[in-house]
Amino acid sequence: MHTYDTTDFWSWWTETLDNGWKRGEFLFAEPAARRMTVQGKVLNTQTDDTLIVTIPLEVRTPQLIKNLRKVLEDNKEKVSNARNKSRALYPVASSVRLSTLHQTLQVWDTWNEHKHRKKKYEQAALAGIYVNNVVNGETVESLKRADLPYGDVQQEVRRRQIMAFNRYLTAANDYIENVGKGRFPLRNK
Q: pLDDT digit string (tens) for 33-75?
A: 788 888 877 777 777 788 888 989 888 899 999 999 999 999 9
**Region 167-180 average pLDDT:** 90
Q: What is the residue extent of each domain of the chain?
A: 1-30, 33-85, 98-179
Candidates 124, 106, 116, 119; CA nearest to 172 is 106
For 74, residues 6+ apart whose C-beta sits below 8 A from its C-beta are 38
**Region 140-160 average pLDDT:** 93
Cα–Cα distance for residue pair 96/81, rounded to 1 Å: 23
Q: How confident is the model at residue 121 (pLDDT cuts 50, 70, 90)?
A: very high
State the average pLDDT for the chain: 87
Q: pLDDT digit string (tens) for 73-86?
A: 999 998 898 888 87
CB-based contact 22:13 (threshold 8 Å):
yes
pTM: 0.56
In this prediction, residue 126 carries a pLDDT of 95
Mean pLDDT is lowest, of 54-68, 98-112, 138-152, 171-185, for 171-185
**Region 81-107 average pLDDT:** 84
Half-sphere exposure of 126 (CA within 13 A, CB side): 17
Q: Does residue 91 carry a pLDDT above 90?
A: no
In this prediction, residue 1 carries a pLDDT of 55
**Region 130-135 average pLDDT:** 93
- Between 152 and 12, name the one with better pLDDT: 152
* SS3 state of residue 60: coil
**First-to-final CA distance of the chain:** 89
Q: How confident is the model at residue 6 (pLDDT cuts 50, 70, 90)?
A: low
